[in-house]
């Protein structure tokens, strides 16, 4: 995973936050405020949590795709460093009336078409946005600079431990997820008995889990979610939390395998409590399980494989 430039400026200078969907922007804003930082938030309308209005020192809805508005707002507030957090609903980029939906300004139109000629994947567009703002004197930093404790610790986090068959599925899915990440397709794969049920693409992890549940008549499949080999910590760091567990429960998944030290675990206590309540397994590994050392008996101690 590529490191981000460090956040080294004085704590009294405001931090810019571009917020999209999910809990992560709220948690990031709360952590920054607890550390005494002012937070200037530009929140994507229809995606970001309205609770950010009551957490951030300055709050604005972004109701159209205006790079000019972002630049003016951050400059006026004295922002030099900014971060982005949350899930952007990328399928909206293919909405038939997308130009009316986003109402972009001229600067965004020029940026989008220039970047799209090169590539229309996640990394290309987000790195393009970072470069565009850097040219205006605004440096993007990782939210992990002020909340590194969000990265998940290594180990089996739940009471239920994985079976030998589930660990084999984790090992199988691990290599596939890593390759999908390298190709910038997605971060997650869903596996049952060494068969791929679904691969995350533009729809996101939760929708991919739901799709796997629709395709798997036998409940109990495995979800593997990893960082890309070329992951940039400034954006799209793999993130799981209570919503991920709730989606798995509805879809019939049994195991969530994530990468220790590279994945954000939101609301850790609530997430683990919910998983325990429903009999799910969450395990965080630094490398795939060693399936060669697995015992054949279900329910045996698998520490050697982890």
Please count the residues of the chain. 306
For residue 84, pLDDT over 60 is answered with: yes
Average pLDDT, stretch 266-276? 98
Phi (first) and psi of residue 193, to 5 degrees:
55, 50
pLDDT value of position 142: 93
The H-assigned helical ranges of 103-220 are: 106-118, 122-134, 164-182, 205-215
For residue 248, pLDDT over 90 is answered with: yes
Q: Residues near 253 by Cβ (< 8 Å), separated by ≥ 6? A: 190, 209, 212, 213, 219, 220, 221, 222, 223, 247, 280
Average pLDDT, stretch 177-190? 94
Task: Give the whole-angstrom CA distance, residue 62 versus residue 89.
Answer: 14
pLDDT value of position 116: 55
Could you report how far apart the first and last alpha carbons of the chain are, in Å? 21
Residue 178 Cα distances to 39, 81, 181, angstroms = 34, 30, 5
Q: Name the class of domain 151-293.
A: alpha beta
- Give span(s): CATH 3.40.50.20, the chain: 15-145
Q: Tell me which of 127-141, 144-158, 198-212 is least confident.
A: 127-141
Average pLDDT, stretch 292-303? 56
- Give span(s): CATH 3.40.140.80, the chain: 151-293
Q: Greatest CA separation found in the chain? A: 64
Task: Give the whole-angstrom CA distance, residue 124 versus residue 234.
Answer: 13
Burial tier of 171 (Cβ tally within 10 Å: 0-12, 13-18, 19+): buried
CATH of 15-145, one of 3.40.50.20, 3.30.70.660, 3.40.50.620, 3.30.420.40: 3.40.50.20
């Amino acid at each position: 995973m590529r490191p981000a430039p460090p956040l080294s400026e004085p704590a009294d200078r405001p931090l810019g936050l571009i917020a999209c969907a999910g809990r992560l922007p709220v948690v990031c804003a709360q952590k920054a405020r607890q550390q005494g930082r002012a937070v200037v938030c530009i929140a994507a309308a229809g995606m970001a949590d309205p609770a950010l209005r009551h957490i951030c020192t300055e709050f604005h809805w972004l109701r159209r795709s205006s790079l000019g508005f972002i630049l003016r707002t951050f400059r006026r507030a004295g922002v030099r460093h900014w971060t982005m957090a949350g899930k952007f609903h990328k399928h909206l980029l293919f909405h038939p009336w997308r130009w009316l939906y986003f109402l972009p300004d001229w600067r965004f139109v020029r940026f989008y078409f220039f970047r799209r000629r090169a590539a229309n994947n996640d990394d290309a567009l987000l790195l393009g946005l970072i470069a565009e703002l850097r040219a205006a004197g605004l440096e993007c930093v990782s939210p992990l600079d002020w909340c590194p404790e969000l990265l998940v610790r290594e180990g089996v986090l739940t009471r239920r431990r994985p079976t030998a068959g589930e660990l084999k599925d984790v090992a199988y899915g691990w290599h596939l997820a890593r390759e999908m990440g390298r190709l910038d397709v997605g971060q997650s794969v869903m596996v049952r008995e060494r068969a791929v049920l679904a691969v995350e693409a533009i729809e996101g992890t939760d929708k991919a889990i739901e799709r796997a549940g629709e395709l798997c008549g036998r409940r109990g499949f495995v979800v593997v979610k990893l960082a890309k080999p070329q992951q940039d910590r400034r954006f799209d760091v793999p993130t799981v939390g209570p919503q991920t567990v709730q989606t798995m429960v509805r879809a019939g998944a049994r195991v969530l395998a994530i990468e220790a030290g590279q994945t954000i675990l939101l609301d850790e206590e609530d997430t683990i409590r919910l998983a325990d309540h429903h009999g799910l397994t969450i395990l965080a590994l630094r490398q795939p399980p060693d399936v060669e050392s697995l015992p054949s008996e279900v329910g045996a101690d698998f520490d050697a494989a982890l």
